[in-house]
Chain A
């Protein structure tokens, strides 16, 4: 774990998030008739698990003091292309492999732009997201919606199967979370990601290969985006490319920030993503049951995101000087 002072702070934020989640749960259970039912709670978890998986990918980048705005575009077009190839008669395994390679290639290019060309990550990934959306729609995926027809074999269970009453997407979310925990906390790679997020200059000077690590960071987020896209495609039996131009990327950032992973990097862990996912899942489910319109939901989400970023910049200031105000 990180040192106790900072842990105390982020613990506070984590406890805060859990407390708000608990309060929301109680309020919704009391006021909304259809909330406290097993079927609703299961669907809540199922709906939010996709967001959670993407948020874990994003967290891996944010901890390394980056941000990946290409995730949704990568998710949609890598899996979309796979299923276009599959519908065109290609073997499913081969189609998926090609889609995965596309995702990894895009992640690598983004990483190279950030690490070697030294474009600030927010601009590099913003531009890449536009390029992927444009090129993908032009060259790879001919229509807005790809319906998956035909037998995909065992893959179907990724979306519709279940383990001990838990829907498969939830189980897979937990699997991805565990894998990310191991990757970030127990491996050399994760140690370097935290180091780069905390102090890139000290990392460089002490000989950490920061450029290759950054490329790896963006390739892994693209890999996770592909996995999320696959699960999503299997759940709804289609790929909707319009998602790439939706506000979904902000939902992902919302989960990451509200969970307590500082945008300044070097802080937080998978646990923060779990609590952030829980809170956002409750909120979205409650708002849907209350029949709040899509635009109104967007307004509420965006206000929460703004608030979360303000809280984050107070708790985890990026500027070294202000962060030392408590310095003696």
Chain B
């Protein structure tokens, strides 16, 4: 039976400054289906959906909604036709309450708050969302924010809701909740498109799956005709063995070297509480924790990015010498570096080239101490690290912002490694990184541990923790609550420790 599509894109092309982001893409969204959009970073997933939602406009091609040609100049026009997009960075006003956000833009001249709260409560209940309409949005977790965002889209009578990597910032628990929401939306007859990097998610929840590669639609079919390997193959254009996420158990576990870092009763306001743990040279210490468990904050306090509490702040010992950092600089000088989870905000210099990015870090750590900048040294350094980390760029002068997510992450890692660290904290080292680069980064982390460097990997992705770690620490409520060896660790046991 042929169902007429709700949205149909006919050979749509979008160019940015003459460079096509997507080329001749034909895409169909059927009514009431959940459609997963997969592809490596830079494959054009976001571009395609942004055109549908009116965020940007196609250079060529046609979009049809209900078999009528449409062209949205603004997100507002798309919303009026029932197409809503939920972005990765939520578009809610943090200082307002949930109810105020729900009714944002529909306020009457004399805005009666009580009426809004009652209406919001009723509406949230009708959706079965457990969100307090009086709560300030800033105080909500990522999952609840998403609920508010979804509620707003449903309220505005959206027939199509597009999610741009909805699960990237969610913890596994929150993900389960999100998928329940998606099923609920589907039951209401709303068609859902979601962009994701996680193949399991796509396989488990989507009715249909489309894969984009280099701006072209490679395949689009019912989800039950796919399996992992097929998708990966379609995404990268080559077959990738399942090696990527095998459990660590069967290989040799690296024995701990000397104790490099010892943290005792570290405290920072209400986020890090009496946290104690140790890190050993020559092995990978994995820290698993849900969002809000204080794992990143702990790392940032150790690295001097945040200041620990002035009184009863605890103690950090580096090679048995007590250290207290008020800024990151002395930490970097002592060989403790932090690889951020948010590279765009605090990882690299977007207008600078790869060479400049790496060289600035070398200068900052006095690895390149000269008063004058040596451009020859900079170039050699860039060539060396691009080679070691397999950083691929169109040309060596390209600014880092133009690179793919994986290559950007490699530049951020190179910036840390060029500082000759003794301890490296990797915070979500593969977030927003394409499949091919994930295995390269994992290999790199393993190599670093072999070289004797103390590595800490912070991740909320269980397969990553299980794959890399020689010791697994679980963080909850601002402290390390449990330690596992790779043999005894299972996804269930780690998760149990993280949530209870």
Contact = CB atoms under 8 A, between A and B. Distances in A.
A191 B402 contact: no
Contacts of A190: 373
Contacts of A6: 351, 399
Interface in A159-217: 185-188, 190-192, 194-195, 198-199, 201-209, 211
B371 A198 contact: no
B22 to A, nearest CB: 8
B478 to A, nearest CB: 22
Nearest to A202: B346
A5 interface: yes
Contacts of B348: 199, 202
A2 B350 contact: no
B195 interface: no
Contact of A3 (B89, B340, B352): B352
A207 B345 contact: no
A229 interface: no
A267 B305 contact: no
A207 B349 contact: no
A3 B42 contact: no
A303 B42 CA distance: 41
Contacts of B44: 328
A202 B400 CA distance: 13
Nearest to B14: A328
Interface string A294-328: 00000000000000000000000000110111111
Interface stretch (B61-69, B145-153, B248-256, B324-332): B324-332
A278 to B, nearest CB: 25
Contacts of A320: 344-345, 350
Q: B-side binding surface: helix, strand, loop or mixed?
A: mixed
A206 B364 contact: yes
Residue picked from B21, B351, B363, B398, most chain A C-beta under 10 Å: B351
A205 B304 CA distance: 8
A207 B329 contact: yes
Contact of A205 (B338, B372, B399, B402): B338
Contacts of B363: 188, 191-192, 208
B16 A205 contact: no
Contact of B370 (A185, A188, A192): A188
A120 B346 CA distance: 20
Interface size class of B (residues with CB under 8 A): 35 or more
Interface residues of A, number: 37
A115 to B, nearest CB: 11
A199 B349 contact: yes
Given A324-B401, A328-B21, A266 B329 contact: no
A203 B373 contact: no
Given A186-B373, A187-B373, A199 B346 contact: yes
Contact of A208 (B16, B345, B360): B360
B407 interface: no
Interface in B352-408: 352-353, 356, 359-361, 363-365, 370-373, 395, 397-402
B437 to A, nearest CB: 16
B419 interface: yes
B17 interface: yes
Interface in B161-209: none
B373 A208 contact: no
B331 to A, nearest CB: 7
Nearest to B329: A207
Given A2-B353, A187-B373, A188-B372, A203 B398 contact: no
Nearest to B342: A201
Contact of B347 (A2, A202, A211): A202
B119 interface: no
Nearest to B393: A3
B349 A198 contact: yes
Contacts of B346: 199, 201-202, 205
Contact of A321 (B89, B349, B371, B400): B89
A2 B47 contact: no
Contacts of A324: 344, 401
Interface in B265-320: 303, 305
B144 interface: no
Given A205-B338, A327-B46, A186 B399 contact: no
Contacts of A328: 16, 21, 42, 44, 46-47
A114 to B, nearest CB: 16
A326 B17 contact: yes
A3 B364 contact: no
Contacts of B364: 192, 195, 203, 206-208
B422 interface: no
B252 to A, nearest CB: 34
B46 A207 contact: no
Contact of B328 (A191, A205, A266): A205
B344 A187 contact: no
Contacts of B399: 2-6
Q: Which of A199, A207, A324, A326 has the most CB of B within 10 A?
A: A207
Contact of B371 (A188, A195, A202): A188
Nearest to A204: B328
B333 interface: yes
A327 B87 CA distance: 14
Contacts of A191: 359-360, 363, 373
A3 B397 contact: yes
Contacts of A206: 328, 332, 337, 360-361, 364-365, 415-416, 419
Contact of A198 (B331, B338, B351): B351
Contact of B332 (A2, A207, A267, A323): A207
6 contacts: A4-B397, A6-B351, A187-B372, A188-B373, A194-B349, A205-B347
Q: 5 closest pairs, A vs B, by CB?
A: A3-B399, A207-B332, A201-B346, A198-B349, A207-B364
